Amino acid sequence: MNQSMQTMQTVFDEADCLFNEQQIDAAIHRMATEITRALSEKDPLVLCIMNGGLILAGQLLPRLPFPLQVDYMHATRYRMETSGADLDWRVAPEAALTGREVLIIDDILDEGKTLAEIIKYCQKKGAANVYTAVLVDKLHDRKAVKGFKADFSGLEAADRFLFGYGMDYKGYWRNAPGIYAVKGL
């Protein structure tokens, strides 16, 4: 095992598990029920935000028992670091947003800078309405927009550096079988 892998294994071994797979599954089930109630009659376009939203989208979409379309976009502020920088737009969705009900799926609502910019992007592209779904809403008072909340949120977590279920630590552990908080961060 190389040094980088050893370091990442240590991060995982020392991390605190905040939510296990059963708790996350229950949260995703609840989100699916709420989204179905709100959007099942609206022909939504679902946008998965890469890479963080991938795991949530993969588990949430099969639980939405109604017709919808799926596309993705890639915008990031973290670039494998533990703090965000300017937004880096990597891939725009191919689907037309004009007149559509759009549901954005992402891993976490931390400060919300990325999500707020993605919402603005969708609005500028003519979306009729933009909804947001995140697995985790981090609890603190540093939101980009005061009082910013996702329309559909699975879990609330303390203000710690999280990884697992799409969230990463320096590019690693998006695949962790729970949601973990890094020791000391």
Catalytic center residues = 110
Q: Is 124 exposed, middle or buried (0-12, 13-18, 19+ CB in 10 A)?
A: exposed
Query: How far, in Å, are 5, 110, 147, 149, 166 from residue 50 at the CA level?
Result: 23, 16, 25, 20, 9
146's CB contacts (< 8 A; 6+ apart) are none
* Per-residue tokens: 58: 């993969």
* Burial zone of 24 (CB within 10 Å; 0-12 exposed, 13-18 middle, 19+ buried): buried
What would the two tokens of residue 10 be?
């240590």
Distant-in-sequence, close-in-space partners of 167: CB < 8 Å, separation ≥ 6: 52, 107, 108, 136, 174, 179
